[in-house]
Structure 1
Amino acid sequence: MELTVLGQEPVAKGGCSSSSCGSTDDQLGHLPENIREKVHNHPCYSEEAHHYYARMHVAVAPACNIQCHYCNRKYDCANESRPGVVSELLTPDQAIKKTLAVAATIPQMTVLGIAGPGDPLANPEKTFATFRALSEQAPDIKLCVSTNGLALPESVDELAKHNIDHVTITINCVDPEIGAKIYPWIFWKNRRIKGIKGAEILIEQQQKGLEMLTARGILVKVNSVMIPGVNDKHLAEVSKVVKAKGAFLHNVMPLIAEAEHGTFYGVMGQRGPEPSELKELQDQCEGDMNMMRHCRQCRADAVGLLGEDRGSEFSVDKIEEMEINYPEAMIMRAEVHAKIEAELAEKKAKQNKPQLIQLEGLGGKPRKTYRPVLMAVATQGGGLINQHFGHAKEFLRYEVTESGAKMVGHAKTDLYCSGDDTCGEAETTLQKTIRALDGCEVVLCSKIGYEPWSMLETAGIQPNGEHAMEAIEEALMAVYQEMIENGKLDDVAETVNRQAIA
Structure 2
Amino acid sequence: MGSVCFSTLHADVLEKTSKHPCYSADAHHKYARMHLPVAPRCNIQCNYCNRKFDCVNESRPGVTSEVLTPEHAKDKFAWVKEKMEHLSVVGIAGPGDALADWLFTKQTIKHIQALDPEITFCLSTNGLLLPEYAPEIVALGIRHVTVTVNALDPAIGAEIYQFVSYQGKWYTGVAAAGLLLHNQLAGIAYLVKHGVMVKINIVMIKGLNDRHIPAVVKKVKELGVFVTNIMPLIPAPGSAFEHLPQTSMKDLNTLRDVCQLDIRQMRHCQQCRADAIGLLYEDRSQEFRMCDRPQDGVTVNNGNRKLYRIAVTSKYGKLVDQHFGHATKLLIYQGDGLQFQLRETRTVGRYCAGMSECDAEAGDSGREKIIEALKDCNAVLTMRIGYHAKERLRDKGIFISEYCDTVEAGLRYAAAQMQSQGAAENE
- In the superposition, the TM-score normalised over structure 2's length comes to 0.66
Alpha-carbon offset, residue 77 of structure 1: 3.7
On the 8 A contact 1:156/1:213 being kept in 2, the answer is yes
Task: Give the Cα separation in 1 of the matches to 2:209 and 2:90.
Answer: 31
Task: Give the Cα separation in 2 of the matches to 1:320 and 1:125.
Answer: 28
Q: Which residue of 141, 151, 159 maps to 1:173? A: 151
Matches within 5 A, 1:71-470: 71-74=49-52, 76-257=54-235, 261-266=237-242, 269-319=243-293, 321=295
% identical aligned pairs: 46
Task: Give the Cα separation in 2 of the matches to 1:96 and 1:130.
Answer: 7
What SS does the corresponding residue of 1:233 show, helix, strand or coil?
helix
Partner deviation per Cα, 1:297-334 (whole Å, 9 max, x = no partner): 000000000022211111112336279xxxxxxxxxxx
Task: Give the Cα separation in 2 of the matches to 1:122 and 1:219.
Answer: 21
On the 8 A contact 1:227/1:254 being kept in 2, the answer is yes
On the 8 A contact 1:74/1:86 being kept in 2, the answer is no
Task: Give the Cα separation in 1 of the matches to 2:23 and 2:283.
Answer: 18
What SS does the corresponding residue of 1:110 show, helix, strand or coil?
strand
What SS does the corresponding residue of 1:144 show, helix, strand or coil?
strand
On the 8 A contact 2:39/2:98 being kept in 1, the answer is yes
Task: Give the Cα separation in 1 of the matches to 2:210 and 2:34.
Answer: 30
Partner deviation per Cα, 1:379-418 (whole Å, 9 max, x = no partner): xxxxxxxxxxxxxxxxxxxxxxxxxxxxxxxxxxxxxxxx
Alpha-carbon offset, residue 115 of structure 1: 0.1
Task: Give the Cα separation in 1 of the matches to 2:239 and 2:53.
Answer: 15
Q: Which residue of 30, 43, 62 maps to 2:40? A: 62
Alpha-carbon offset, residue 36 of structure 1: 3.2
Task: Give the Cα separation in 1 of the matches to 2:145 and 2:69.
Answer: 22
State how many pairs are aligned.
292
User: Partner letter of residue 319 of structure 1?
Assistant: R
User: Partner letter of residue 290 of structure 1?
Assistant: R
On the 8 A contact 1:117/1:300 being kept in 2, the answer is yes
- Structure 1: gaps (5+ residues): 1-28, 324-502
Alpha-carbon offset, residue 140 of structure 1: 2.1
Task: Give the Cα separation in 2 of the matches to 1:183 and 1:47.
Answer: 31
On the 8 A contact 1:67/1:184 being kept in 2, the answer is yes
User: Partner letter of residue 63 of structure 1?
Assistant: R
Task: Give the Cα separation in 2 of the matches to 1:112 and 1:278.
Answer: 28
On the 8 A contact 2:221/2:263 being kept in 1, the answer is yes
On the 8 A contact 2:150/2:209 being kept in 1, the answer is yes
Alpha-carbon offset, residue 217 of structure 1: 0.5
Q: 1:30 to 1:211 in 2, by over 3 A?
A: closer
What SS does the corresponding residue of 2:28 show, helix, strand or coil?
helix
Task: Give the Cα separation in 2 of the matches to 1:303 and 1:199.
Answer: 33
Task: Give the Cα separation in 2 of the matches to 1:180 and 1:298.
Answer: 26
Task: Give the Cα separation in 1 of the matches to 2:151 and 2:178.
Answer: 10
On the 8 A contact 2:92/2:122 being kept in 1, the answer is yes
Task: Give the Cα separation in 2 of the matches to 1:31 and 1:278.
Answer: 28
What SS does the corresponding residue of 1:252 show, helix, strand or coil?
strand
Alpha-carbon offset, residue 257 of structure 1: 1.9
What SS does the corresponding residue of 1:167 show, helix, strand or coil?
strand
What SS does the corresponding residue of 1:49 show, helix, strand or coil?
coil
On the 8 A contact 1:135/1:163 being kept in 2, the answer is no
Q: Partner residue of 1:36?
A: 14
- Structure 2: gaps (5+ residues): 298-427
Q: Partner residue of 1:392?
A: none
What SS does the corresponding residue of 2:71 show, helix, strand or coil?
helix
Q: 1:255 to 1:76 in 2, by over 3 A?
A: closer
Question: Which structure has the greater CA radius of gyration?
Answer: 1
Task: Give the Cα separation in 2 of the matches to 1:106 and 1:282.
Answer: 33
Q: Partner residue of 1:15?
A: none
On the 8 A contact 1:243/1:289 being kept in 2, the answer is yes
Task: Give the Cα separation in 2 of the matches to 1:142 and 1:322.
Answer: 26
On the 8 A contact 2:290/2:296 being kept in 1, the answer is no
Partner deviation per Cα, 1:355-387 (whole Å, 9 max, x = no partner): xxxxxxxxxxxxxxxxxxxxxxxxxxxxxxxxx
Task: Give the Cα separation in 1 of the matches to 2:143 and 2:180.
Answer: 23
Structure 1 runs, 4 residues or longer, greater than 2 Å off:
29-36, 74-79, 317-323
Task: Give the Cα separation in 2 of the matches to 1:69 and 1:208.
Answer: 24
On the 8 A contact 1:74/1:117 being kept in 2, the answer is no
User: Partner letter of residue 142 of structure 1?
Assistant: T
What SS does the corresponding residue of 2:62 show, helix, strand or coil?
coil
Task: Give the Cα separation in 2 of the matches to 1:278 and 1:210.
Answer: 24
What SS does the corresponding residue of 1:120 show, helix, strand or coil?
coil
What SS does the corresponding residue of 2:256 show, helix, strand or coil?
helix
What SS does the corresponding residue of 2:113 show, helix, strand or coil?
helix
Q: Partner residue of 2:372?
A: none
Task: Give the Cα separation in 2 of the matches to 1:41 and 1:30.
Answer: 19
What SS does the corresponding residue of 1:99 show, helix, strand or coil?
helix
What SS does the corresponding residue of 1:56 show, helix, strand or coil?
strand
What SS does the corresponding residue of 1:178 show, helix, strand or coil?
helix
